[in-house]
Structure 1
Amino acid sequence: MAEDLHDRHQADRLDAAVRTTGPRTLREAIQALDPITAVWASPDGPAVLAVGQAKTVTASGAARFQEVKRRGDRLLERVETAHLPERARPRLFGGLSFFDQATLEPPWTDFEPAAFVLPAIQVTLGRDQTLVSGFGAGAAPPRLDQIVQQLAHAGEGTQTKTDPRISATATDLRADRPDWIERVRAIQDRIETGPLQKAVLAAALDVALTDPLPLGAVLKTLTDRYPSCYRFSFTPPGTQAGDTPPAQFFGATPEQLVGKRGRTVETEALAGTVERGATEAIDAANVSRLQRDSTLAVEHEFVASRIAEQLRETAATVTVGDREVRSLANVHHLRTPIHATLDTDTHVLDFVATLHPTPAVGGHPPEAALETIHEVESTVRGWYAAPVGWFDANGDGEFAVGIRSALARDSRVTLFAGNGIVAGSDPETEYEELAAKFRPIREVLE
């Protein structure tokens, strides 16, 4: 089992080694390897898979960001990486819970409030070659050679096969229309009488499956349909080969929380949504409504202003780009790109802690929004709408917001979606919008 690094002194070094093999697709790599403990595929970078767990770091409560950074940095200092090419160097993959909690409630009990894994094997896919990095016991030549052989033969005999079908037997939306409308109006009552200006209300949809979730097929389909999104999957700490089936938190999120490389920071405001139209004319009308709707503009401005204000507290220069429309297969979003240049180097987790939760998934002002969500919302968020991603020994990394996501556990998949509620929100429209936000995952399962 992976070792959990808490405050014990760990002076021993961890070996590292790297091999190369031919290019492989994400689906081929997932099908060839076990256990897949994490998958990360960004829109502009290579997909990376974590196989097995060499070490893990966990934390909980309000200090979980700082504890993960401290323990993670100590762990990464122990890895011998001088001889590794940059793309093959170790990353810690994982995520954190939305709320400050000591433990997570069902259906999230397998997960920790914060958990990051140093994989035994890290597989970095590329157009020309695949890099296979081993850390700790994973660096042993027999283990590396085994992985290389599995990847070398990945995809053989699959040319005539189709991806396995996923058969959903039933669905259950936990928030029916009257209940949802009542909760929206409860939020609007608070907006009218207090400091609250916006709160995000989440809902869950349960889908029962007849067979275990085929992760490779699911992520392939999400990649085909949503190539501009972050595709991800994470299993709980301690997942071992042969665990059947391991819990999986997976999805295809359009929302970057923060990316950092050196002293350059990138993030975005993504808030304000309309569905795609069934025809080109309807779709164009929906885009026009998105651009002109004053309620959506107010919702978006909450997010953009708050993120820029937070970055200015730590960055030398903050540049806010022009608002634009981000179009996906299922919805259109309002998006504002935001860039920053740092005076001094800062760890990516410091920005994660500062920015989470953005008004796009929490609300504004933050304290009033989180209190409202606690009291009004019935959904157990766990890692939903929380930071997921990776960081490295330089303090660089990439994190997204875990929306357009689902938790697969046993024979059930729980889908999550949420809407930002402001004073002018129409409860009926907000309820209909949920269907569009469930669609990326629901279509893959049905």
Structure 2
Amino acid sequence: MIKRIKERIKMVELPVGLVAQVEELLTKQEKVLVSWVTKIESLNLLMIFKQGKGVYSTKRFFWQNPSKKVTLVGLGSTNQFCSNKGITSYQGVHEFNQQLKKQTATNQKRRATGALLFGGFDFDPERGESKEWQDFQSAFFYLPTYLVTVLSEETYLTINFYVDSQTDLHQKANEFFGKWEELLEEQIVPKAAKAVVTNKTELATTEWIQAVDETVELIKQSTTLQKVVLSRQLLVEHDSVVDVEDVLERLMMTQQNSYFFVLENKEKAFIGATPEQLLAAENQHYYSACVAGSAPRGKTKAEDQVIGEALLKDHKNTHEHHLVVEMISETLRTLTLDLNVSGNPTLLKNRDIQHLFVTVEGKRQATVPFLMAVKAMHPTPALGGLPRNEALAVIREKEPYHRGFYGAPIGWLNQDDEGEFAVAIRSALLMEKQSILFAGCGLVAGSKSAEELIETRIKFQPMLRALGGLDHE
């Protein structure tokens, strides 16, 4: 095997233009970030994510959008950004990315390849720190050492590494490529027995019901407050360390029409299958989606159709969705030209739940950086409420815990100021033998706490199923 790897290494040649870029940059600065992109044979990215567990177990990410046109796996960390500076962290990540760009030599020509950053933000940095989320802080992003990108039918490998004037560039590239080849040759270690769920605890249910009732009353009495999203937690305990790869694989098997994501740091992994796009930037356009209002799936096709048609006509849910459409459209009008809303709501269906759904797009104004647009969009009324600041004040008062990255932007951006962020719902924070699951519901004047409790239990199901915690499946 070693001989075969060495033979491959001898064949590795960096593009001439990339070498010239490195040499030019080294005349101006002490070190250069080399971001070498090469097209490779098709790979199973879930398998690559699994194979990276040994060497890169605390520094991996996975991302796939619902159309499956972009799938990403990141292994290792060449650089990272971690900030506890609250809301200014958006600007901090933007500046960090721009500084990296000045240091970078690359042959990147395709979106979602090259020196790409992946990570997320805190839902509400003003809540202060929490023990569970302290490793992620207000923002956590990293530049992977190895990035594998699948764009439709094409697969690319990016290797990101630093060099200085004393570095033998070709030797360094061959070393990194050799390690990549070794990774491909490694056999996946047989996984241990699946972690068994030993206990499930819905946290502070009585207090949550009371908070819902009080919040609905606030909305009824207020002349301004229209909607508040209150979330709650489910603590799941296991008999052994949870295998994040297994959880991801089960999510991908059961949750269609979803963004799949994993973000690891140290001994924790934030994972989810969310239906909700926040903002994408591509070809000088912004794209977003309005997802709100929900109903369970039917047990039969006929029953499912009846439930879906009722959801499309339900006053409480259509009002909730209309608030989201209004806010997202209003925000994007300040960031785009020629804004277009897709029309009347349609149904976005996943295994356990269905939502009202429309899309929004417009030509982006070049004066606003992508991450500043993401900041302007967050939180939408689907996860915060309306008016935003008034709703956030209620959430801070009524929710007894820190949301962390739940309900917040998670995704990627490249050095061309393009990328895509989803809203991190249907998610869990995996912490070795414990998992914290999150679910929320939008409260308006017509909400009833008993119905909202049922809705959150439905929203727990995708992640609970992936963890093996549903009793009858």
Q: 1:392 to 1:102 in 2, by over 3 A?
A: farther
Alignment partner, residue 143 of structure 1: 176
Q: 1:21 to 1:163 in 2, by over 3 A?
A: farther
Q: Over alpha carbons, which structure has the higher Rg? A: 2
On the 8 A contact 2:236/2:436 being kept in 1, the answer is yes
1:416-427 equivalence runs, <5 A: 416-427=438-449
Question: How much has 1:26 moved relative to structure 2?
Answer: 2.8
On the 8 A contact 1:406/1:441 being kept in 2, the answer is yes
The alignment partner of 2:48 has SS state of helix
Q: What one-letter code is carried by the residue in structure 1 that aligns with 2:370?
A: V
Q: 1:164 to 1:276 in 2, by over 3 A?
A: farther
After alignment, is 21-30 or 390-399 more displaced?
21-30
Alignment partner, residue 373 of structure 2: 351
Question: How much has 1:164 moved relative to structure 2?
Answer: 5.4
Alignment partner, residue 148 of structure 2: 123
Residue 197 in 1 paired to residue 226 in 2?
yes
The alignment partner of 2:60 has SS state of strand
Alignment partner, residue 40 of structure 1: 63
Distance 1:10 1:414 in 2: 45
After alignment, is 222-231 or 394-403 more displaced?
222-231
Question: How much has 1:349 moved relative to structure 2?
Answer: 0.8
Q: 1:23 to 1:301 in 2, by over 3 A?
A: same
1:291 to 299, 306, 312: 312
The alignment partner of 2:357 has SS state of strand
1:49-198 equivalence runs, <5 A: 49-59=73-83, 60-82=85-107, 88-101=113-126, 104-125=129-150, 130-137=155-162, 140-153=173-186, 165-176=194-205, 178-194=206-222, 195-198=224-227
The unaligned stretches of length 5 or more in structure 2 are 1-27, 164-171, 469-473
Alignment partner, residue 407 of structure 1: 429
Q: 1:264 to 1:306 in 2, by over 3 A?
A: same
Question: How much has 1:88 moved relative to structure 2?
Answer: 3.2
Question: How much has 1:62 moved relative to structure 2?
Answer: 2.0
Residue 441 in 1 paired to residue 469 in 2?
no
On the 8 A contact 2:61/2:264 being kept in 1, the answer is yes
2:32 to 4, 7, 13: 13
Distance 2:441 2:240 in 1: 31
Q: What one-letter code is carried by the residue in structure 2 that aligns with 1:122?
A: L
Alignment partner, residue 6 of structure 1: none
Q: Give the percent of matched residue pairs that are identical in Structure 1 and Structure 2.
A: 28
Question: How much has 1:441 moved relative to structure 2?
Answer: 0.5
Q: 1:56 to 1:101 in 2, by over 3 A?
A: farther
After alignment, is 340-349 or 53-62 more displaced?
340-349
Distance 1:19 1:312 in 2: 38
Alignment partner, residue 364 of structure 1: 386
TM-score by length of 1: 0.89
TM-score by length of 2: 0.85
The alignment partner of 1:80 has SS state of strand
Alignment partner, residue 416 of structure 2: 394
Q: Please, what is the CA RMSD of the aligned residues?
A: 2.3
The alignment partner of 1:248 has SS state of strand
Distance 2:321 2:430 in 1: 31
1:23 to 24, 42, 51: 42
Question: How much has 1:225 moved relative to structure 2?
Answer: 1.4
Q: 1:429 to 1:87 in 2, by over 3 A?
A: closer
List per-residue Cα deviations over 1:87-130 (Å, max 9, x = no partner). 53121000000012485302112212111101111122467664
Question: How much has 1:13 moved relative to structure 2?
Answer: 1.4
Q: 1:173 to 1:257 in 2, by over 3 A?
A: same
Alignment partner, residue 261 of structure 2: 232
Distance 1:426 1:196 in 2: 17
Q: 1:428 to 1:86 in 2, by over 3 A?
A: closer
The unaligned stretches of length 5 or more in structure 1 are 1-8, 240-245
After alignment, is 223-232 or 144-153 more displaced?
144-153
Question: How much has 1:154 moved relative to structure 2?
Answer: 5.8
Alignment partner, residue 316 of structure 1: 337
Question: How much has 1:149 moved relative to structure 2?
Answer: 3.1
Question: How much has 1:262 moved relative to structure 2?
Answer: 2.9
After alignment, is 417-426 or 346-355 more displaced?
346-355
The alignment partner of 1:15 has SS state of strand
The alignment partner of 1:336 has SS state of strand
On the 8 A contact 2:256/2:351 being kept in 1, the answer is no
List per-residue Cα deviations over 1:196-227 (Å, max 9, x = no partner). 11000100001112222222222121112123
On the 8 A contact 1:132/1:144 being kept in 2, the answer is no
Q: What one-letter code is carried by the residue in structure 2 that aligns with 1:189?
A: E
Question: How much has 1:11 moved relative to structure 2?
Answer: 5.5
Query: Across the two proteins, how many residue pairs are aligned to each other?
Result: 425
Q: What one-letter code is carried by the residue in structure 2 that aligns with 1:186?
A: E
Question: How much has 1:344 moved relative to structure 2?
Answer: 3.0
The alignment partner of 1:62 has SS state of helix
Distance 1:83 1:235 in 2: 25
The alignment partner of 1:354 has SS state of helix
